[in-house]
């Protein structure tokens, strides 16, 4: 089963083409350009260089959140359009779960984190044993202070674009923290594909119309609007 997978929920962007568990090709950029400029050209170039037509792809997967509101919308909209145009199924997966799958070469506890601003991170924790990922908690937006109390000094690999933030903020309180190697720290299209493959095999796909983003929190502008309304007499 050939899956074209997209990751644009953080600062970096990535596209991967897989066939079952085999990685055929992957493109990754962390250059600061907006995903609206990079994501589709990356996919087009990847397929062209592999000599594979879009019509030969069996399905599409995307990191549906949490993460950057703009980045998530771009990724989800891209997959919606491709799935609709080719009449192929799609799957949305947790960005944090995809990070864990991308770091499956590590052994132990994985603490996947993304900077959610305002002293919070988007977080989920997993264990990895012999390449098998097991989820320990739901995706959540959690304060760094609360996360520190939860993990204590338990050894943890920090994965994700919030890894440096967590390490620099919590290393004095949590002695067991270790930054994952750079090549395993950033979210990738392959991680999305690895998280999505079991869902494809179980038939847990969706139509483009059903695919939706998962934000966990309201956008900052919406939070400010609601706060303003609550403050009015």
Packing angle of the helix pair 163-170, 144-151 (nearest 10 deg): 70
* Phi-psi label, residue 105: left if phi above 0, alpha if psi -120 to 50, beta otherwise: alpha
The pLDDT of residue 226 is 47
Using CA atoms, how far apart are residues 79 and 92, in angstroms rounded to an integer? 9
Task: Using the CB atoms, write b or e for 109-122: b if 16+ within 10 Å.
Answer: bbbbbbbbeeebbb
Enter the tokens of residue 176. Answer: 């067991």
pLDDT at position 207 is 96
Q: What is the pLDDT of residue 33?
A: 82
203, 153 contact by CB (below 8 A): no
Question: How many Cβ atoms are within 10 Å of 187's Cβ, its own excluded?
Answer: 30
What angle (nearest 5°) sits at the alpha carbon of residue 214, between those of residues 186 and 107? 35
Q: What is the pLDDT of residue 141?
A: 96
- Separation between Cα atoms, residue 173 and residue 232, nearest integer Å: 41
Mean pLDDT by 10 residues, the chain (233 residues): 96 96 96 90 98 97 96 97 97 98 96 95 97 96 97 97 96 97 95 98 97 81 50 57
pLDDT at 220: 53
Q: Which pLDDT value is given to residue 193?
A: 98
Query: How many angstroms separate the Cα of 152 from the Cα of each of 92, 110, 114, 164?
Result: 32, 14, 19, 17
Q: Is the preceding peptide bond at 79 cis, omega within 30 degrees of 0?
A: no
């Amino acid at each position: 089963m050939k899956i074209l997978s997209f990751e644009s929920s953080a600062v970096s962007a990535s596209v991967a083409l897989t066939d079952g568990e085999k990685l055929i090709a992957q493109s990754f950029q962390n250059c600061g350009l907006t995903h609206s400029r990079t994501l589709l050209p990356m996919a087009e170039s990847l397929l062209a260089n592999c000599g594979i037509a879009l019509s030969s792809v069996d399905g599409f997967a995307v990191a549906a959140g949490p993460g950057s509101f703009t980045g998530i919308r771009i990724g989800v909209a891209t997959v919606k359009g491709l799935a609709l145009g080719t009449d192929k199924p799609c799957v949305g997966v947790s960005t944090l779960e995809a990070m864990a799958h991308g770091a499956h070469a590590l052994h132990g506890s994985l603490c996947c984190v993304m900077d959610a601003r305002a002293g919070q991170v988007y977080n989920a924790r997993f264990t990895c044993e012999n390449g098998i990922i097991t989820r320990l908690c739901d995706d959540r937006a959690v304060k760094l202070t609360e996360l520190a109390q939860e993990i204590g000094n338990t050894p943890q690999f920090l994965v994700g674009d919030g890894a440096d933030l967590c390490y620099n903020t919590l290393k004095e309180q949590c002695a067991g923290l270790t930054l994952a190697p750079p090549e395993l720290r950033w979210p990738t299209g392959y991680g999305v594909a690895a998280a999505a493959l079991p869902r494809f095999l179980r038939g847990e796909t969706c139509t483009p119309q059903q695919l939706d983003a998962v934000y966990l929190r309201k956008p900052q502008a919406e939070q400010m609007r609601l706060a303003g309304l609550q403050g009015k007499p």
